[in-house]
Amino acid sequence: MFEARLVQGSLWKKLLESIKDLLNEAIFDCSSTGITLQAMDSSHVSLVSISMNSDGFDTYRCDRNLSMGIHLPSLSKIMKCAGNDDIITMKATDDADTVSLVFESQNNEKVSDYEMKLIDLDTEHLGIPETEYSCVVKMPSSEFQRICRDLSQLGDSVVIACTKEGVKFSASGELGTGNIKLCQSASTDKEEEAVVVDMNEAVCLTFALRYLNFFAKATPLSAQVQLSMSKDVPLVVEYKISELGFLRFYLAPKIED
Amino acid sequence: PHGQMKISSFFSSP
Residues from chain B that touch A206, judged by Cβ atoms under 8 A, are 3
Closest residue to A252, CB basis, from B2, B10, B13:
B10
What ipTM does the predicted assembly reach? 0.90
Q: What is the mean pLDDT of residues A104-121?
A: 95
What pLDDT score was predicted for residue A164? 86
Confidence of residue A123 (pLDDT cuts 50, 70, 90): confident
Q: Is pLDDT above 60 for A213?
A: yes
Q: Do A40 and B7 touch (CB under 8 A)?
A: yes
Q: Do B2 and A254 touch (CB under 8 A)?
A: yes
Q: What is the percentage of chain A residues whose pLDDT exceeds 70?
A: 99
Q: What is the mean pLDDT of residues A230-247?
A: 96
Sign of the Cα pseudo-torsion (A90, A96, A98, A100, in order): negative
Q: Is pLDDT above 80 for A32?
A: yes
What length is written for chain A?
257
Q: How far apart are CA A10 and CA A5, in angstroms?
A: 12
Q: Do B11 and A251 touch (CB under 8 A)?
A: no
Q: Which residue of A has its CA nearest to B9?
A: A252
What pLDDT score was predicted for residue A189? 76
What pLDDT score was predicted for residue B12? 78
Residue type for A131, please? T
Rounded to a whole number, what is the distance in Å from the CA of A108 to chain B's nearest CA?
45
**Selected residue of A235, A248, A254 to mutate for chain B interface (largest B Cβ count, 10 A):** A254
Q: What is the mean pLDDT of residues A207-212?
A: 97
Question: When comparing pLDDT for A242 and A218, which is higher?
Answer: A218
Closest residue to A253, CB basis, from B5, B12, B14:
B5
Q: What is the percentage of chain A residues whose pLDDT exceeds 90?
A: 87
Question: When comparing pLDDT for B1 and A126, which is higher?
Answer: A126
What pLDDT score was predicted for residue A257? 57
Rounded to a whole number, what is the distance in Å from the CA of A171 to chain B's nearest CA?
15
Q: Which residue of A has its CA nearest to B6?
A: A45
What are the phi and psi torsion angles at A221 (to 5°)? -70, -35
Task: Spell out a b/e string for A122-132, using b for 16 or more CB atoms within 10 Å of the CB, else e.
Answer: eeeebebeeee
Q: What is the mean pLDDT of residues B1-14?
A: 84
Q: Do B4 and A46 touch (CB under 8 A)?
A: no
What pLDDT score was predicted for residue A186? 82
| DSSP secondary structure string for all residues of A121-134 | ---PPPB------S
Residues from chain B that touch A254, judged by Cβ atoms under 8 A, are 2-5
What pLDDT score was predicted for residue A212? 98
pLDDT digits over A155-204, tens only? 999 999 999 889 999 999 999 999 999 998 887 778 889 999 999 999 99
Q: What is the mean pLDDT of residues A222-245?
A: 96
Q: How far apart are CA A84 and CA A102, in angstroms?
A: 14
What pLDDT score was predicted for residue A55? 97
Q: Is pLDDT above 80 for B14?
A: no
Residues from chain A that touch B14, judged by Cβ atoms under 8 A, are 125, 127
What pLDDT score was predicted for residue A124? 78
Q: Do A254 and B5 touch (CB under 8 A)?
A: yes
Residues from chain B that touch A45, judged by Cβ atoms under 8 A, are 4-7
Q: Is pLDDT above 70 for A230?
A: yes
Q: What is the mean pLDDT of residues A197-222?
A: 97
Q: What is the mean pLDDT of residues A18-29?
A: 96
Closest residue to A252, CB basis, from B6, B12, B14:
B6
